[in-house]
Amino acid sequence: MAKFSKNDDSLVVIIGSGAGGGTLGMELAMKGIKTVILEAGGRHGPQDFVNDEWGSFGQISWLDKRTTSGDWRVSRDFSGLPAWIVKAVGGSTLHWAGASLRFQDHEWKARTTYGDVKGASLLDWPIDGKEMAPWYAKAEDHMGTTGTNGIPRLPGNNNYKVLAAGAKKMGYKKFHTGNMSINSQPRDGRGACQQIGFCFQGCKSGAKWSSGYVSIPKGEATGKLECRSNSQVLKIEHDKNGKVNGVVYADKDGKVHKQKARIVCVAGNSIESPRLLLNSESSMFKNGLANSSGQVGRNYMRHMTASTYAIFEKPVYMYRGTTMAGIIQDESINDTRRGFVGGYELETLSLGLPFMAAFLDPGQWGREFAASMEGYDRMAGLWIVGEDMPQSNNRVTLHKKIKDQHGMPVPNVNFSDHENDIKMRNHAWKQSIALYESVGANKTIKTPPYPSTHNLGTNRMSAKASDGVVNKYGQTWDVKNLFVSDGSQFTTGAAENPTLTIVALAMRQAEYIAKQMSSKAI
Amino acid sequence: MRVLNKKAISRRSFLKTGTVTALGLTIMGPMVIGKNNAWAATFKTLGADDAATLIQMARDCYPHDFLADKYYAKVIEGIEAQAGKDKAFKSMVSKELKKINSSAKKHYKVNYKDINRELERTDILKKNSKSPLFKKVQGDLVVGLYNNQEVWPKFGYEGESASKGGYMNRGFNDIDWL
């Protein structure tokens, strides 16, 4: 395992170790490039994950101070918790469910496909499905995605069987147990899924792919990658020519260090990444680093989400087995006869009893709520995840007064639904309620969006420098040795869970960085 | 299908003592609570009367008729502990309880906990739902009550599964009634 000097100015420094940063670190190291990942959180793995929702929440969640505004219900019910994401080596790939879906071709071209949607700041991605196909294939092979590379799909649990029976009654055709980066059979030195449940709390068997305990150790094995945990980056610094040359970070005792760098890649998730660029303002970059477009922090997307839970006469025990155990894709199309642009996926989801109480209908109490909780063992449930519209004022900004434990301004996340998001959510609730009623549900509950797990778009990729923050390789328009390597570079969100695309983009970016370094362009 | 017996007595007698902090809510670990409302005497700071009112409020928030008072009382112990450490908090509790009781007397002639009908008690809670005390009780309870491992079997939730080999051979796909 490498250990590099803080004065080594030949390093690539990656901020964050999740799907983007962890993958990029592995890929660069495998190309022989000396790389340091600075991760704000600690290092956890299957040996110390806990099958306990609140216990795990305290162990791995990002709980640093954040504020919220806008009309979303999360801002009312969980005002200090806009996002449910992870602060640990592996980032949110520790608690992700494992769904690994490719974007559809039309979703790369949202502005062209959907037209001029009022109030939306839609753009086409400067890349497309054809360009991404080999990178998706490489990502699926690395992650061991079921339904690809000859890997069989996982068996469906009780929650999936209810979903599938309803899907059949509804006349849906495209439903199965998903493309999941969870081993259905031993592969890549890791065992097969034991149907433990608790996918959101970190996979205790290690069957689920995570950059934390899969990709980063592969990178470390080359001797070219150092993953420095408990190292929270506060600021990116630059030289007088406007090239970045290092980062300032705080260790677990709050002691501040400087790490020199040849290249800096930001991969702190879509709230921390723009926050860091904004907090890195200087006399040369007065509005924040890489922000000549004014787009840093804007177009925050979180997917159009919601859940439907249905209560039956007889037991389901939906918590037994993989949390996201199956998917219906028939509604993930662009058919404007439904009254909205874009589409959505229906994916099974379950919560344990403690989280069900907190999230089923936040703030509710009384006999009706208690009766729903008493139906817990007879519940089936699904998550709705669809494309939301980017909006310029849905954005991450720096709080004017509140500072974090290191004295840095905390991020505020402002979000309001677009009319298209609301229409899509209502359609999805209607369809999923009909689905569950078709197989005998006695009661259905419309559960509002949870704190965001898919945080996207705040440093978006664009064809023109004036429209976004990064070019088609995630390289910032303003600073050529500064990259964005996480979901914040998403131009639009598509309907699919984002992790596979983040991993594929990081692999593609690694190749670009290696070429730029060898040609001395950066 | 492996169906659970929800009426079976849990083998876990008590939670591990400690605190759970979640979403800014703190719930203290349990104290031993006896039968026949002997628990009232354990609330030295709040006093038996106010404690009984808070426990009734807790039950009215999340009324599960199969749960004994002790499960609600455990959450109220967190309020007891905080009141013991924080004078301003203690005076807020007693001030807000007075308000709730005077609202109960105005509408139903008796103190809140002495109103016989649940619908009438919840009517009083709805009228006082902006009260910081009500918010505190409700917020603590939604985490504390449902995070108590002793109540999980009564709801048909099995909790931790990794040490038992997951559900691979324990019914993850055994649904038989579809």
- Chain B residues within 8 Å of chain A (Cβ atoms): 1, 3-4, 6, 20-24, 60-64, 118, 122, 138, 142-143, 145-147, 152, 155-163, 165-168, 170-175, 177-178
B167–chain A nearest CA distance, Å: 5
Residue A343 confidence (pLDDT)? 98
Residue B37 confidence (pLDDT)? 60
Residues of chain A with pLDDT under 70: none
Phi-psi region of A440 (alpha: psi -120 to 50; beta: other; left: phi over 0): left
CB crowding B97-134: b at 16 or more within 10 Å, else e? beebbebbeeebeebbbebeeeeebbbbbebbeebebb
Closest residue of A to B22, CA-based? A54
Confirm whether B27 is domain-assigned.
no
Tokens linked to B5: 């017996």
Contacts of A204 in chain B (CB under 8 A): 162
Q: Across the A/B interface, how many CB contacts are shorter than 8 Å? A: 136
Closest residue of B to A162, CA-based? B178
Q: How crowded is residue B85: how many other Cβ atoms within 10 Å of its Cβ? A: 9
Could you give the CA distance from residue A88 to residue B146 in angstroms, rounded to a whole number? 27
pLDDT at B17 exceeding the cut of 60: no
Contacts of B152 in chain A (CB under 8 A): 353
Confirm whether B17 is domain-assigned.
no
Contacts of B61 in chain A (CB under 8 A): 365-366
Digit-coded pLDDT (tens) for B79-109: 999 999 999 999 999 999 999 999 999 999 9
- Its pTM stands at 0.95
Which residue in the set A197, A316, A365 is minimally distant from B167, CB to CB? Answer: A197
Rounded to whole angstroms, what are the CA distances from A343 to A306, A409, A416?
A: 14, 36, 19
Is residue A101 within 8 A of residue A502, CB to CB? The reply is no
What is the pLDDT confidence band of residue B24, given thresholds at 50, 70 and 90?
very low
Confirm whether B88 is domain-assigned.
yes
Residue A312 confidence (pLDDT)? 98
pLDDT at B119 exceeding the cut of 60: yes
Contacts of A439 in chain B (CB under 8 A): 178
- Nearest 5 degrees, angle CA A260-CA A262-CA A264? 85
DSSP bridge pairs for A266: A15, A484
Q: In total, how many domains does chain B have?
A: 1
CA dihedral A258, A264, A270, A275 (to 10 degrees): 40
pLDDT at B9 exceeding the cut of 90: no
Residue reference for tokens 């290191």 = A406
Which of A38-52, A190-204, B2-16, B60-74 has the lowest average pLDDT?
A: B2-16
Beta-sheet pairing, A327-328 with A175-176: antiparallel
Which residue in the set B143, B163, B170 is minimally distant from A54, CB to CB? Answer: B143
What is the pLDDT confidence band of residue B42, given thresholds at 50, 70 and 90?
confident
DSSP bridge pairs for A233: A249
B126–chain A nearest CA distance, Å: 10
Which residue in the set A54, A194, A367 is minimally distant from B22, CB to CB? Answer: A54
Digit-coded pLDDT (tens) for A421-457: 999 999 999 999 999 999 999 999 999 999 999 999 9
B80–chain A nearest CA distance, Å: 22
Could you give the CA distance from residue B159 to residue B155 in angstroms, rounded to a whole number? 11
Provide φ and ψ at A88, rounded to 5°.
Answer: -170, 165
Residue B38 confidence (pLDDT)? 63
Residues ≥6 apart with Cβ < 8 Å to A187: A144, A151
Residue A1 confidence (pLDDT)? 81
Helix (H) / strand (E) containing A246: strand A244-250
Contacts of B1 in chain A (CB under 8 A): 315
ipTM reported for the complex surpasses 0.90: yes
Closest residue of A to B19, CA-based? A55
Confirm whether B117 is domain-assigned.
yes
A506–chain B nearest CA distance, Å: 32
Which residue in the set A51, A156, A378 is minimally distant from B173, CB to CB? Answer: A156
Digit-coded pLDDT (tens) for A175-234: 999 999 999 999 999 999 999 999 999 999 999 999 999 999 999 999 999 999 999 999
Strands of A35-38's sheet in order across? A225-228, A35-38, A12-15, A263-266, A482-484
Confirm whether B41 is domain-assigned.
yes
Structural domain of B105: 32-156
- For chain B, give the number of residues: 178
Which residue in the set A205, A357, A366 is minimally distant from B122, CB to CB? Answer: A366
Is residue A37 within 8 A of residue A225, CB to CB? The reply is yes
Residue B15 confidence (pLDDT)? 42
Confirm whether B10 is domain-assigned.
no
A380–chain B nearest CA distance, Å: 12
Is residue A69 within 8 A of residue A402, CB to CB? The reply is no
- Nearest 5 degrees, angle CA B5-CA B10-CA B15? 140
Could you give the CA distance from residue A145 to residue A97 in angstroms, rounded to a whole number? 12
Whether residue B175 and residue A158 make contact (CB cut-off 8 A), yes or no, is yes
Confirm whether B46 is domain-assigned.
yes
Confirm whether B1 is domain-assigned.
no
Cα of first residue to Cα of last residue in chain A, in angstroms, is 26
